[in-house]
Structure 1
Amino acid sequence: MSPLPTRMVNRWQNRAEPGPGQGTIYWHILIGDHPGARDLARTARERLAGFSGLHMTPPEWLHITTLVAGPSDEITDEQQRDMLTTASALLAKIPPIDVTLDRLYYHPEAIALAVRPTEHLDQVREAVQTATLKATGREGHTEGPSRWTPHATLVYSEAEQPAEPIISALGRELPSCPITIEALTLVDQRGPERLWDWHPIGRAPLLGRR
């Protein structure tokens, strides 16, 4: 998500989106229940209050996208249960993971918090990818660049405008926020992304001993 963009663009202008009754199954690390993460989102909202054309992630759905499993109409309820069962068994061997949120990533379509360090998160992604492959025959994929870069998106752009005033107002980082990742959640995201019609299917906890 670097170098810094010169312009923001409309993320959804040419983006293919699910139609009525359609959805996408995702593995997410949900962080909206962490007070510190919500505080960072509120700080971003306050600093950017003077700008139009920005769509904020609802605090309750702050998340780190880990894997896109596939369209909901191609993954049965039984397969979803199998994914959770296998992922839970694999993640039960991995201890909770301490990470820090502070540095900001800027992209023409979005602004996100970096998640670091990342090395232990790769184990988590491998676990849910294995579970997805075992249950569905597909590995899933990364949203965006081919290499997974853990991040938590705070703001989506929905208009064309210069990026520099937004970057100047928000800055390059926010107050450091440590959080502990304790579970992954399988989520059915229904309809267009920006409607936030999310339906958690189940959680797979990280239960390993530190």
Structure 2
Amino acid sequence: MSLADLPPGQNAEQVRNHWWWRPGWHVGRRFFAFHITFDNQPALHELAATYRTALAEMPSLTLIPDQWLHLTMQGIGFADEIQPAVLSQLVEEARDLLSAFPAFEVEFGPAIVADEAIVMPAEPPEPVQELRRLTRTAIGRVFGEEQVPENANKFRPHVSVAYLTADGFSAPYIETVSRAKVEKARATITHVDLIEMHRDRQMYEWRTVEALPLA
């Protein structure tokens, strides 16, 4: 069960390999998205490192290094289907909308084992949900409302610390995560990144096209 479908505080019963190829994806293809990234967030990095240490001996996991920690927010589309001029227009629309939204703090703490990843939900979720709504508004203005991808309501903000790479039961991962001695970490959200990413090496890696500051 995906994180968005899990009640708060509950884990999935079974897990599966995260790295199956979603429709349209293949090696070499790039994808544009609005994400929140976490450079210069030492508290969050320390928390993620604690979980990586706890999970280091577990099988069938891809541990995510600090460089690629991110909060998945809103997809845009494949890079080979979006003209540069259209992307520039989207950047300006998003910049105008996001520049009026104040920077804020979110907290990450106990990890959840979802169906494809071990994740840290963001609390409170509402400010991140509003950021996503603004990016969806920008996409709708440029591409048309009917062309905005993904479900508007099925979104629970989180940062993944590891991806599962095999099908099975979640219990061993839940037990390992529950034994980790962690304290909650706060992160300050000051910008949203429009990124161009790929998953060629079983890791989400990207270049930042534009960093869009909040107020």
TM-score range, shorter chain: 0.7 to 0.9
Equivalent of 1:66 in 73, 83, 90: 73
What corresponds to 1:129 in structure 2? 136
CA RMSD of aligned residues (A): 2.1
Q: Distance in 2 between matches of 1:140 and 1:193?
A: 25
What corresponds to 1:180 in structure 2? 188
What corresponds to 2:214 in structure 1? 206
* Counterpart mapping for 1:48-59 below 5 A: 48-59=55-66
Equivalent of 2:150 in 141, 150, 174: 141
Change (3 A) 1:81 1:193: farther
Identity within the alignment, %: 24
- State the TM-score, normalized to the length of structure 1: 0.88
Q: Which consecutive residues of structure 2, in runs of 5 or more, have no partner in the other structure?
A: none
> Matched residue pairs, number?
205
- State the TM-score, normalized to the length of structure 2: 0.86
After superposing on structure 2, the runs of 4+ consecutive aligned residues of structure 1 that deviate more than 3 Å are 13-17
Q: Which region of structure 1 is more displaced relative to structure 2, 61-70 or 129-138? A: 129-138
Q: Is the 8 A contact 2:76 2:149 kept in 1?
A: yes
Q: Does 1:76 align with 2:83?
A: yes
Q: Distance in 2 between matches of 1:147 and 1:134?
A: 21
Q: Distance in 1 between matches of 2:179 and 2:100?
A: 36
What corresponds to 1:154 in structure 2? 161
Q: Does 1:85 align with 2:96?
A: no
Equivalent of 1:95 in 88, 102, 108: 102
Q: Is the 8 A contact 1:24 1:189 kept in 2?
A: yes
What corresponds to 1:197 in structure 2? 205
Which residue identity lines up with residue 192 of structure 1 in the other structure?
D
Q: Is the 8 A contact 2:64 2:203 kept in 1?
A: no
